[in-house]
Amino acid sequence: MTVLVDDPLIASMAIRRTLPLHESSRRLRELYPECPRVYGVAVMGDLSRRRWWPLAEALTGNRLEAMFELAAEETDSRTAVAHQLAATLAHVVIGRVIPLVVLEGRAWDTGLENLWVHVDSEGAIDWVGVVDPTVRALPDDPYFGGRSMRLGRSTREGIVALPSEAALTTWVAHRSHRTLAPLFAKLADISDGAMSVAAMWHVVGGAVVSAATQVPLLAGSSELTSMRRGQSVLDALVGFGLPVRGTSRATAGKVLLN
């Protein structure tokens, strides 16, 4: 039997009241017990903020520039560095929430003002936290069993019911789009166009498909449900005019078809 690794950062969390997000994140961490920070998020109110910073500072400060320049020192390809950072941002914002969407029909808020990131000793992002732990969920979520519930109304219990699966996936896509759009624009500027913004959105599409494919293998859950929800998120992003579908990759600032 695989044993959950006792991660010191997770072990140090001081959870005063267990909320639905705490329970969901615990279950997500159990998908990959050898590396418990791969899935799930932290709640910022549960921990000290050493080595944490708001994701919004990637736009207002020089955090993103510093990450780019540090990575550029180790490779001659600015395109490769841009791709690496685009993949990191995609994972931070949407790649982490998709496992919860496809597995439990829940989602935390991926809005820019709600996300914080934790960095290791070398400045690389290795975990994600949220300020507001409220999750959106489907009306048939087990949490609502036997409870009075009103759609769209928040409770003190940290969970809000949305009317349908389409509403949930569209909300996730919308909040993620609003967060990633300015981050990708900033990254394109920092990299002097080494990777196009369109190519960055292709990376997002890959992150969604990868998560929706991997989770059923780890959890033994429904592949059909997982792919349906993942595709619904992609459909919503396409509806916003974003090129998340296809098998393109970026080289030398251009999008080349495989």
Local confidence band at 205 (pLDDT 50, 70, 90 cut-offs): very high
Closest by CA to 199, choosing from 234, 257, 258, 248, is 248
Place of tokens 């829940």: 106
pLDDT in tens, 49-60: 888 999 999 999
Model pLDDT for residues 66-118, shown as the tens digit of each residue: 999 988 888 889 999 999 999 999 999 999 999 999 999 999 999 999 999 99
Is the model's pLDDT at 2 over the cut of 80? no
pTM as predicted = 0.90
* 3-class SS string, 92-134: HHHHCCHHHHHHHCEEECCCHHHEEEEECCCCCEEEEEECCCC
Lowest mean pLDDT among 4-13, 42-51, 196-205, 207-216: 4-13
Structure tokens at 149: 């519930």
